[in-house]
Chains A and B, each alone.
Chain A
Amino acid sequence: MMGAPVALLQVRGLTAQFNRGDAASQVVKGISFDIGAGESVGFVGESGCGKSVTARALMRLAPEGSSLAWGGTVLFKGQDLLQVNERVMQDIRGRRIAMVFQDPMSSLNPVLTVGAQIEDVVRRHTGASASRARKRAVELLDLVGIRDAARRADDYPHQFSGGMRQRVLIAIAVSCQPDLLIADEPTTALDVTVQAQILRLLMRLRRELGMALMLITHDFGVIAGMVDRVHVMLDGRIVETGSVDALFANPQQAYTQALLAAVPRLDVAGKLA
């Protein structure tokens, strides 16, 4: 389209697979999508549809002992992430593209304080001094809603609840003001009441920091109100795309309909009887 700005992230024909010896993980079989600066895009699908693999392939994060087999292009601000060398990738991770994972209980290093785990990424990417990094860490903990941030920064992960650990992980992710935040099932492992809080937090941060958001989930209920656009994935491919309202109102694919039906709706009377 003439005059349209180049998207922040342009994925074309991405195929990806993580191999460990003989075994292969789920596969992405050729998907293409854009994410514009400041845009919020959702990826929905059942387990095994390839949405997480997509995210990890973007970040080139193969699980321990596996390697990534890929095809296609992933253009991030003009650079093909699949072609750059690992050193460049390390500079991008955490700084330009950050990720929040599913299980907050196991995602923090047990032997480092929460503050230290924010400071290390800040110092890594900005070269800040120890005291500067410390200040920043406390600011961030405050930003994500952790009370008594200065004191809590010296606490260890096991002293925090699941919801609070996820906040810490979000603080870590946004610490260097990335252009793109990938959230892979960020609320799946949390209590229902906490889920809403975390989602609201993500929304707020996105607005305040102007980040693009890639939200991955199996639950349509999670993305409602969170994203501008949704890609529905099935078996390694994108099968339907549209705005949230459009999809909710008029799902084209049977699969999408099934996903929507899976969301418990409190506003539809009589269904539960």
Chain B
Amino acid sequence: MRRLVLIRLAWMLPILLGVSVVAFVLMRALPGDFAQASAGTTELAPEALNIIRRDLGLDRPVWEQYLRWLAKLLKGDFGDSFTTHKPVLGELLPRLAVTAELTLIAGLMAMAMGASSGLASARWRGRTDWLVRGINGLFLAVPNFVVATLIVLLAGLYFPEVGIFNYTPFLTDPLGNLGSMLLPAFSLALAVSVTISENTRAAVLEVSSQDFVMVARAKGLRPSTILWQYLVRNALTPIITVTGLQLASLLGGSILIETIFTIPGMGQYLFDAVSGRNYPVVQAIVLVAATVVLLVNVLVDVAYARVDARVSYD
């Protein structure tokens, strides 16, 4: 299996390369470049704009710019932000941490909500099943930013004393930080939990009808043992896969949620950078996002193999 992991990691490099090229080219294909964007509404003379461009090396041919960027990247330097002239990496990391925290909490919430409702649905069938699937269908139709906005509305109308826009950094106030992340994470987690729920239900149902579960019952094992050692452990593989794959949508959704709840994460940073044509920032974010997604895919495959002894990649 080690070999497979190495191969997958090796494939990541060309894919990331492709990703970076696409991002690079897209940004420069923009109508209006950084110089114009930073000028904003003030009318700058073309010479002034050109000075800005030359300063940032934007007058070079695209392929040269790319190679320069790549060379610096290989040394671990993501370049400096066009707007703040500070290293992008330094600005990106804390924001990445915030988005990562939000995504992680949302992911855990989604797994908890989804796996338990899916399990309940599969074990108790009947009314519970109906209820869970009905609610799932409804939740699926409500996009995360709509949920978030409605939450803010409800809070504003009925709980005006509760401050929901009060993000505090983790290091300053851990408890407060977690508290302020709850509602945003919930908005993100809702839609994802539906997918996890459906998949859990299907997986558990499928496993329940397998012969070895009947054998477990014939052994007189306690229902809890059968549930955890025989049902859940065999249903885990699809659950893990699905959760891992949902990470991508969690990352994407975090931009919207961060905007609504004014959380200083990567999403807002990306948005501002794209509108402001802040190329180095956009490239860095795109690269980081793609890396995370690819890494998670590899992790999911590894977890697969650990959980299910039959799966061997050799």
Spell out A's residues near B (CB within 8 Å): 59, 61, 63-65, 89-95, 98-99, 101, 103, 106-112, 120-121, 124-125, 156, 158, 169, 172
Chain A residues contacting B216 (CB-CB under 8 Å) are 109
**Given the complex, which residues of A lie within 8 Å of B229, measured CB to CB?**
109, 112, 120
**Range for the number of chain B residues in contact with chain A:** 20 to 34
Cα(A110)–Cα(B213), bound, Å: 11
Residue of A nearest to B234 (CB): A111
Further pairs besides A94-B219, A158-B310: 10, Cβ < 8 Å: A63-B209, A90-B221, A101-B218, A109-B212, A111-B233, A112-B233, A121-B221, A124-B219, A124-B220, A124-B222
- State whether A124 touches B221 (Cβ < 8 A): yes
Pairwise interchain contact A95-B220, C-beta atoms closer than 8 A: yes
State the 9 A-B residue pairs at the shortest beta-carbon distance, nearest first: A93-B220, A94-B220, A94-B219, A106-B211, A121-B219, A99-B218, A156-B309, A64-B208, A109-B212
- Chain B residues within 8 Å of A59, by CB: 218
Residues of B within 8 A of A (CB): 125, 208-223, 225, 229-230, 233-234, 307-310
Query: Which residues of A have CB within 8 Å of B215?
Result: 101, 107-108, 169, 172
- Give the Cβ gap from A20 to chain B, nearest Cβ, in Å: 11
Interchain CA distance A156-B215 in the complex, whole Å: 16
20 pairs of residues in contact across A and B, judged by CB atoms under 8 Å:
A59-B218, A64-B208, A64-B209, A90-B221, A94-B220, A99-B218, A101-B214, A106-B212, A107-B215, A108-B212, A108-B215, A109-B233, A110-B308, A120-B221, A121-B221, A124-B225, A156-B310, A158-B310, A169-B215, A172-B215
B221 touches A158 (CB 8 A): no
Task: Tell whether A106 pairs with B221 under 8 Å between CB atoms, given A111-B234, A111-B307, A112-B229.
Answer: no
B308 near A94 with CB under 8 A, answer: no
B309 pairs with A120, CB closer than 8 A: no
A95 to B308 alpha-carbon distance, docked (Å): 29
